[in-house]
Amino acid sequence: MNHPFKPTLLAVLIASSIGLVACQPASDKTADTQAAGAQPAATAAEAKTFIDNASKEMAALLIEANRADWIASNFITEDTEALSAAVNEKMTSTVVRLANEAARFNTITVDADTRRQLDKLKLALTLAAPKDQAKTAELAEIVAKLNAMYGKGKYCKADGSCMALGDMSSVMASSRSYDEQLEMWKGWHDTAAPMRPLYMRQVELANEGARELGYADTGALWRSKYDMEADAFAVELDKQWTEVKPLYEALHCHVRAKLSEKYGADKVPLDKPIPAHLLGNMWAQSWENIYDLVAPENSDPGYDVTKLLADKGYDELKMVKGAEGFFTSLGFAPLPETFWTRSLFVKPRDRDVVCHASAWDLDAKDDVRIKMCIQRTGEEFSVIHHELGHNFYQRAYKDQPVFYQDSANDGFHEAIGDTIALSVTPKYLKQIGLLEQVPDESKDIGLLMKKALEKVAFLPFSLLVDQWRWQVFSGQVQPEQYNQAWWQLREKYQGVSAPVARSEADFDPGAKYHVPGNTPYTRYFLAALLQFQFHKSLCEIAKDDGPIHRCSIYNSKEAGTALNKMLEMGASKPWQEAIGGLTGTPAMDSKAMLDYFAPLKAYLDEQNKGRNCGW
């Protein structure tokens, strides 16, 4: 889940924790310049010229930055890290300068396209620094410190041995010892406590900058990126959650009962939230690692994709070629030769590389690549389809202006990758010759359970992270309530609780990277819902009238044409138009997810009869 891609153009700065912009409000700048007689009022023609020049400058700079980042990820040395840091600092300062210049046109009447590009530029950065230079410097320093604190976090035992997050996460995934999982959970969460005072100050500074830009607070700024009123967007999220909540509650009830059988009702009471350390994941955000504890009886589908790949002689390159074949079957042009010569598919023996799967677009034209240390497993076969989904999206919008070379909203890119992966079904495996026979529908419950532990379990967590931040930014949650409010939201949305007593001396939100890293999280909630809506619409276009969870759009040129039409739009139009073109409705619709998991919901309801659900 959340396999990242290397974004094109300004999207790279949305994820950058050092993306700070200090702008004077338009009215202040106008007053200042008029008083000084320094320059005449801006014009619409000047705005268009500014956007044209800014586009050229950013296009050139982003190629430089992407190349430096690629080298830094594939040849990890102090020198490559320094080169990457230098060019990213240069890029950040350039966007800060351009955003300040763009603010000059805030009150000028311009055509809709120019206004949208100006807005995309100004909203590209995550934190708005105050115009006071000393405060801007202070905020940048805090951002860097928080990132470093997270990256250096370790749990050291009494014997002096220390464990990093990756090691602890592996234990959490595989251990079935209540106490060992608790030790890992507490060990990691305790590392975040020193972040609290820095985070408090960061909120103050970022809010000051947001207000200077005309936003109520930083949360309102973030919500303004979605082509609708900030408060209306928050209401829409709540509406979607309300619709999928019964499915989550049914899954929660069944999982809690199985965990209670495993660990005892004294440790997992059947009428209370689930202790957060027992779900196989450090943040209890996805639960697929405990599938063995909750799997339905006789749910083995009768095949193992990892074994099938080995039996058919699939090596790493053939796995990627197979995934490319999925897209060419839809009518997309094959990947360019440079993709095959410049991508990283196998972990090199002679150097360290960043192995986490990612998709890259280096030049906003045709230089797309993936970077993976591919393992010959069924899971990785799916991941490759996901990553190529990003690449084909990147290539589809390459002809858009530079500020539109991104997905329709920040949830779309992940949603597209996951949409493609949803088509890696037994039917598809049979079509490409990996599987001899598609199992009958009696085997679907196990497959759906495994997918629900990943995707349905993730929904409330993907929503609450920003719910907490928005309340912090708005002042609804004060610093002395940080941890209390975090766990109130965890219990309200997820039905999970801290496994040991926590206090305001702790800062458990900081144990999740995206909080100290200032990465908005609502994108993952959007992606989790949109992928099923996209998948269902594409299945209908492909005229696959079977159950949605069994559908694959492989070989459907009609589905490929509809998909490509949406991808080509990039960020040029509001996301509601992008989704409307594919699905026929300009709104998100959770019903597709409910339809997908309908057989599992019926199974869960049967299992939960007589159980006390809820918390």
> How many CB atoms neighbour CB 167 within 10 A?
13
User: From the candidates 208, 380, 414, 491, which is the catalytic residue?
Assistant: 414
pLDDT band at 441 (very low <50, low <70, confident <90, very high): confident
User: From the candidates 514, 549, 578, 603, which is the catalytic residue?
Assistant: 514
Q: What are the residues facing 358 on neighbouring strands?
A: 371
Q: Residue 430 burial by CB count (10 A; 0-12/13-18/19+): exposed, middle or buried? A: middle
Q: 580 vs 31, which has greater pLDDT?
A: 580
> Which residue is associated with the tokens 């069924």?
378
Which of 250, 288, 254 shows the shortest CA–CA distance to 268? 254
pLDDT at residue 94, rounded to an integer? 85
CATH 1.10.1370.30 domain locations along the chain: 305-438+523-607
Told to judge if 524 belongs to the known catalytic residues of this protein, a careful annotator would answer: yes
Residue 173 has pLDDT above 70, yes or no: yes
Which of 142, 184, 147, 143 shows the shortest CA–CA distance to 167? 184
Determine contact, residues 146/18, Cβ cutoff 8 Å: no
Determine contact, residues 10/364, Cβ cutoff 8 Å: no
Order of all β-strands in the sheet with 358-361: 5-6, 358-361, 368-371
pLDDT at residue 166, rounded to an integer? 85
Told to judge if 390 belongs to the known catalytic residues of this protein, a careful annotator would answer: yes
User: From the candidates 356, 379, 441, 504, which is the catalytic residue?
Assistant: 356
The pLDDT tens digits for 377-420 are 998 999 999 999 999 999 999 999 999 999 999 999 989 999 99
pLDDT at residue 20, rounded to an integer? 45
For the chain, the helix, strand and coil percentages under 3-state DSSP, each to the nearest 5 = 60, 5, 35
Percent of residues, the chain, with pLDDT higher than 70: 93
pLDDT at residue 137, rounded to an integer? 84
Determine contact, residues 598/591, Cβ cutoff 8 Å: no
Told to judge if 421 belongs to the known catalytic residues of this protein, a careful annotator would answer: no
pLDDT at residue 39, rounded to an integer? 56
What mean pLDDT comes out for the span 184-191? Answer: 97
User: From the candidates 15, 42, 357, 364, which is the catalytic residue?
Assistant: 357
Told to judge if 155 belongs to the known catalytic residues of this protein, a careful annotator would answer: no
The pLDDT tens digits for 323-345 are 999 999 999 999 999 999 999 99
pLDDT at residue 213, rounded to an integer? 78
The pLDDT tens digits for 29-55 are 333 333 334 556 789 999 999 999 999
User: From the candidates 387, 428, 521, 603, which is the catalytic residue?
Assistant: 387
Residue 200 has pLDDT above 50, yes or no: yes
The pLDDT tens digits for 279-292 are 999 999 999 999 99
Told to judge if 357 belongs to the known catalytic residues of this protein, a careful annotator would answer: yes
Residue 559 has pLDDT above 80, yes or no: yes
pLDDT band at 5 (very low <50, low <70, confident <90, very high): low
pLDDT at residue 91, rounded to an integer? 80
User: From the candidates 390, 413, 535, 549, which is the catalytic residue?
Assistant: 390
Told to judge if 414 belongs to the known catalytic residues of this protein, a careful annotator would answer: yes
pLDDT at residue 475, rounded to an integer? 97
pLDDT at residue 360, rounded to an integer? 93
What mean pLDDT comes out for the span 54-71? Answer: 92
Residue 100 has pLDDT above 90, yes or no: no
pLDDT at residue 42, rounded to an integer? 86
pLDDT at residue 9, rounded to an integer? 47
Contact partners, residue 452, CB within 8 Å, separation at least 6: 247, 251, 597, 600
pTM above 0.85, yes or no: yes
Cα(260)–Cα(240) distance, integer angstroms: 30
CATH-assigned architecture of domain 305-438+523-607? Orthogonal Bundle (1.10)
Determine contact, residues 350/379, Cβ cutoff 8 Å: no
| Rounded (5°) CA angle 587-591-593 | 110
Told to judge if 568 belongs to the known catalytic residues of this protein, a careful annotator would answer: no
Told to judge if 356 belongs to the known catalytic residues of this protein, a careful annotator would answer: yes
User: From the candidates 524, 554, 596, 603, which is the catalytic residue?
Assistant: 524
User: From the candidates 386, 413, 535, 549, which is the catalytic residue?
Assistant: 386
pLDDT at residue 230, rounded to an integer? 87
